[in-house]
Structure 1
Amino acid sequence: MESYYLAIHGHALSAGYPGFAEATSQQGDRVDFDHSNDPELEQLVGTQFEHLLALTPTEDGWVATVCSGNYTVMAEKDGRFFNLTGPSPQAETVRIVIPEQTQSVASERIVAEGAERAPSADVFAGWTVSEHVPAARDQNAYAECDSRMPDARDVRPQKANLPHDTPYPTLAPYPGWPRYAEN
């Protein structure tokens, strides 16, 4: 999900994490990240919260339901900062497919957290994103996502596009990414 949003806002597959372009190249209906309708890159600040709500095995991989709360992400325009959304998080679905050669092999456990904001090595390792649906199929997921955000609904920004003189803080990454040498 992080790579998806980086590529969307960066207008390029290469803006995603290492391996993202290869992981999405087989997706038939993927977004054309490299040719946005909006020619100007947005300058974003703040923190987007992601929460893995459900992970369901399939015969060739996994389907994940992910909560995305970007209510503290702001766009900068002419020295002012504007909320991207109101208080409600999104519930999104992603289907990922495991590489053929590793389907029958147990994977070794690797360190999956650290102080880095982004990974420096390919985190997809042959896995592919076969589908991303920006709306969860299970409508109950929206209520669950709302309760999984770190801030109560009444203290979240209530409307999008409200101007501010200063941005919301950009929090340290959690759990963050390990340094490549740690794996």
Structure 2
Amino acid sequence: MTADTSPRGRSINDRTNYNGWTRTGTFYAHILSIKPVDHGLQAMVCEGNYSLMTNTPEGAWKNFGTRVPRATLIDLAPGPDGATDRTRTAGGADRAPRTDMFGGWTITRHAFSTRNYNDALACVDKFPDPPETRPTRINERFTAPYPTLPPFPGWPTSPS
């Protein structure tokens, strides 16, 4: 039996970046709500990719995202012990965690839309840049990318 492959010739379980383009800039996320569900927790998250850019084959930079944020749903399941009440300090200067900060919790689903226009409207003002100053010209080319801002709240250098 052979492994299932996508039209790109990759295994369907390959979760790597599929297009190989460099992305740089800052991706924003804002948690609108978290609620308990049968399998753990469900978070409604505003995602703003308006400050991301890709490098083109010609060496220029272009906008990757859109100025309109989207509301997404992320389902989380607790670890094997089922504990749902542990917390850890999540602030710091590191860009990524150095150890397991999630205590076994896993993401079981990431729906890229809530399919509810009112959820999307609730996201509009949840980011540091007002909507009118976000990039709007998706086809415009730039000689340098947008800056990558420090992570906020970031990750601790040593877990607590």
Provide TM-score, normalisation by structure 2: 0.82
| SS of match in other structure, 1:125 | coil
Change (3 A) 1:138 1:174: same
- Taking the aligned partners of 2:49 and 2:55, their CA distance within structure 1 comes to 15
Query: Greater share of helix residues, 1 or 2?
Result: 1
Say which of 38, 46, 60 aligns to 1:59: 38
Alignment partner of 1:111 is 2:89: yes
- Taking the aligned partners of 1:90 and 1:168, their CA distance within structure 2 comes to 21
Matching residue of 1:148:
126
Kept in 2, the 8 Å contact 1:87–1:159? The answer is no
Alignment partner of 1:33 is 2:19: no
- Taking the aligned partners of 2:49 and 2:17, their CA distance within structure 1 comes to 23
- Taking the aligned partners of 2:108 and 2:122, their CA distance within structure 1 comes to 25
* AA in 2 matched with 1:64: A
- Taking the aligned partners of 2:91 and 2:13, their CA distance within structure 1 comes to 28
| SS of match in other structure, 2:81 | helix
Kept in 2, the 8 Å contact 1:44–1:73? The answer is yes
Say which of 84, 88, 103 aligns to 2:68: 88
Change (3 A) 1:134 1:67: same
* AA in 2 matched with 1:169: P
| SS of match in other structure, 1:85 | coil
| SS of match in other structure, 1:64 | strand
Measured on the aligned residues, the alpha-carbon RMSD in Å equals: 2.0
- Taking the aligned partners of 1:155 and 1:57, their CA distance within structure 2 comes to 36
C-alpha distance after superposition, 1:36-93 (max 9, x if no partner) = 3x3xx11111101110111111133110011111111000123211001231011111
Instruction: Give percent identity, aligned residues only.
Output: 32
Matching residue of 1:50:
29
Provide TM-score, normalisation by structure 1: 0.73
| Bigger radius of gyration | 2
- Taking the aligned partners of 1:106 and 1:148, their CA distance within structure 2 comes to 27
CA drift of 1:161 comes to 3.3
Q: Tell me, which stretches of 5 or more residues in structure 1 are unaligned?
A: 1-29
Aligned length: 148
Kept in 2, the 8 Å contact 1:85–1:161? The answer is no
- Taking the aligned partners of 1:35 and 1:70, their CA distance within structure 2 comes to 16
